[in-house]
């Protein structure tokens, strides 16, 4: 890949503070023309803040930015976009009630005269370029999270941007989708586009990036040339001495079956699936995006219509019509989209935890503030939530700590089965290890877990058994002693 060693964009001495938090402390960032520059750091290191400043979402307290040698200042994202800076954020900005084509061109059409045939044709062109196989007339709200992420990328990549900022763009993509995305990124770089690539996935960073900037605790820690460093060196710069490997701790699996599923179907699960979950087992489901992994979990959690098949949960017939029925039966679910489905961002940590156990904290028909605080404090301690106090807004916490709060919310009351859908999506190495530890400890305490993840390594690290799903059907069951990354990948890919 050819590169021109020319400083195309530069941020100098960027500072930004929020109440009680210094997010960025005199941070510098230099981006060369036609390079892919990885920006990494633990949760709370300042990555999201600096890309929001560069893209005009937030303003810096001090510092300057230069684009092609000229000082720039953006009051809003439109000004950044007009200057040639486009951003794909981790939190989607799609209109769920509009079509794919309408979302791609949202805000860019003349409302007085819209040629819908041309809009559809142009949408097909950009999706063909990105190798996205999605109907341009499909309603975005009907798409999976992975498909929505791809449409978000298409929205920005349609335009002639000079700098493309990508915030965890592959967190919900399959290996094949990542491969296609990287091919497109390389084509853009060869055309002179500079890419700022925010990711926690070290293997991707080493495959695609030219240089790596590491932020730590709001400060610039290190800048590396990717080819001249190693993953352990970069991880140490990012979080200190943290093991990247996870010890498999679950050794108490019972032979007793707590969940037996035979020929499960629903409006979401089109082909019948059958499997068993043992008491205290962590069962992984591996498969590509679109293979039907999430749909199985949501059907079990009462979020699907027309549920069919024979399901036995802890010795009783189980056919939930709503999440409440699932929860009352002892099954909880942590969804992949924690921002829209897992938390109440405008409520405190305490409120987010206690909302799942309202009946337990009531006194004479009213919520007891004393009981609510006691429940929250106990859960915060048990799950290692790092928060200034229980009354802190959950939206002010890092992604990893928000995820711990979601764990705490559903497990303040006794549950038997926990469904985990991409539980470590978009969180850093240290937070991932903590989530793994929490999950393993819960299994040791008696909980059974079904884990869906796009990261095969994650499944291999923590699971006792993995079911391989392809095109909506389980094609293989792999016990822990037979785990092999290449073999399971080949199964998922159909090789």
Give burial (CB, 10 Å; 0-12/13-18/19+) of 109. Answer: middle
Of 174, 145, 167, 158, the closest CA to residue 426 belongs to 167
Report field, pTM of the whole predicted structure over 0.85: no
One fold for 7-239 and 257-493 = yes
| pLDDT for residue 107 | 74
- Hey, what are 302's tokens? 């009462």
45 CB contacts (<8 Å, ≥6 apart)?
215, 216, 217, 218, 238, 428
Write down the domain spans for the chain. 7-239, 257-493
245 CB contacts (<8 Å, ≥6 apart)?
461
φ/ψ of residue 130, rounded to 5: -90, -5
| pLDDT for residue 211 | 98
Give burial (CB, 10 Å; 0-12/13-18/19+) of 484. Answer: exposed
Is the domain defined by 257-493 classed in CATH 3.40.50.300?
A: yes
Which is the CATH superfamily of the domain at 7-239?
P-loop containing nucleotide triphosphate hydrolases (3.40.50.300)
| pLDDT for residue 2 | 39
For the stretch 90-142, pLDDT in tens is 777 899 999 999 999 887 766 667 788 888 898 998 888 777 889 999 999 99
Q: Are 31 and 192 in contact (CB under 8 A)?
A: no
What residues of the chain score a pLDDT lower than 50?
A: 1-4, 242-246, 495
76 CB contacts (<8 Å, ≥6 apart)?
56, 57
């Amino acid at each position: 890949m050819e590169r021109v060693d020319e400083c195309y964009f530069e941020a100098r001495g960027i500072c930004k503070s929020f109440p009680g938090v210094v997010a960025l402390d005199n941070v510098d960032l230099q981006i060369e023309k036609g390079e892919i520059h990885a920006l990494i750091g633990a949760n709370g290191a300042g990555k999201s803040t600096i890309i929001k400043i560069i893209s005009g979402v937030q303003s810096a307290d001090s510092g300057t930015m230069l684009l092609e040698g000229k000082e720039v200042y953006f009051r809003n994202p439109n000004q950044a976009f007009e200057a040639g800076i486009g951003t794909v954020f981790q939190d989607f900005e799609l209109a769920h009630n509009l079509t794919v084509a309408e979302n791609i061109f949202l805000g860019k059409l003349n409302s007085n005269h819209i040629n819908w045939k041309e809009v559809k044709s142009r949408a097909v062109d950009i999706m063909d370029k990105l190798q996205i196989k999605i109907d341009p007339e499909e309603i975005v709200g009907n798409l999976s999270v992975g498909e929505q992420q791809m449409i978000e990328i298409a929205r920005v990549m349609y335009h002639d941007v000079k700098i493309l900022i990508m915030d965890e763009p592959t967190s919900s993509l399959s290996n094949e989708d990542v491969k296609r995305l990287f091919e497109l990124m390389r084509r853009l770089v060869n055309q002179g586009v500079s890419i700022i690539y925010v990711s926690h996935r070290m293997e991707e960073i080493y495959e695609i990036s030219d240089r790596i900037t590491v932020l730590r605790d709001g400060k610039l820690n290190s800048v590396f040339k990717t080819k001249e460093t190693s993953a352990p060196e970069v991880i140490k710069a990012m979080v200190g001495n943290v093991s990247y490997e996870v010890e498999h701790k679950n050794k108490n699996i019972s032979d007793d079956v707590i969940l037996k599923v035979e020929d499960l179907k629903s409006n979401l699960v089109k082909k019948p699936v059958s499997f068993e979950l043992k008491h205290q087992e962590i069962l992984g489901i591996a498969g590509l995006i679109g293979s039907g992994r999430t749909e199985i979990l949501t059907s079990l959690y009462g979020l699907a219509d027309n549920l069919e098949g024979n399901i036995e949960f802890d010795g009783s017939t189980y056919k939930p019509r709503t999440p409440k029925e699932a929860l009352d039966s002892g099954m909880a679910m942590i969804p992949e989209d924690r921002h829209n489905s897992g938390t109440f961002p405008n409520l405190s940590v305490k409120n987010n935890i206690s909302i799942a156990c309202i009946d337990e904290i009531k006194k004479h028909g009213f919520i007891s503030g004393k009981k609510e605080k006691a429940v929250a404090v106990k859960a915060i301690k048990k799950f290692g939530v790092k928060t200034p106090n229980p009354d802190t807004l959950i939206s002010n916490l890092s992604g990893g700590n928000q995820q711990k709060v979601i764990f705490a919310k559903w497990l303040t009351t006794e549950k038997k089965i926990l469904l985990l859908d991409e539980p470590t999506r978009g969180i850093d190495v240290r937070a991932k290890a903590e989530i793994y530890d929490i999950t393993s400890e819960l299994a040791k305490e008696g909980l059974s877990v079904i884990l869906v993840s796009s990261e095969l390594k994650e499944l291999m690290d923590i699971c006792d058994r993995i079911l391989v799903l392809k095109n909506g059907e389980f094609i293989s069951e792999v016990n822990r002693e037979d785990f092999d990354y290449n073999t399971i990948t080949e199964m998922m890919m159909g090789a």
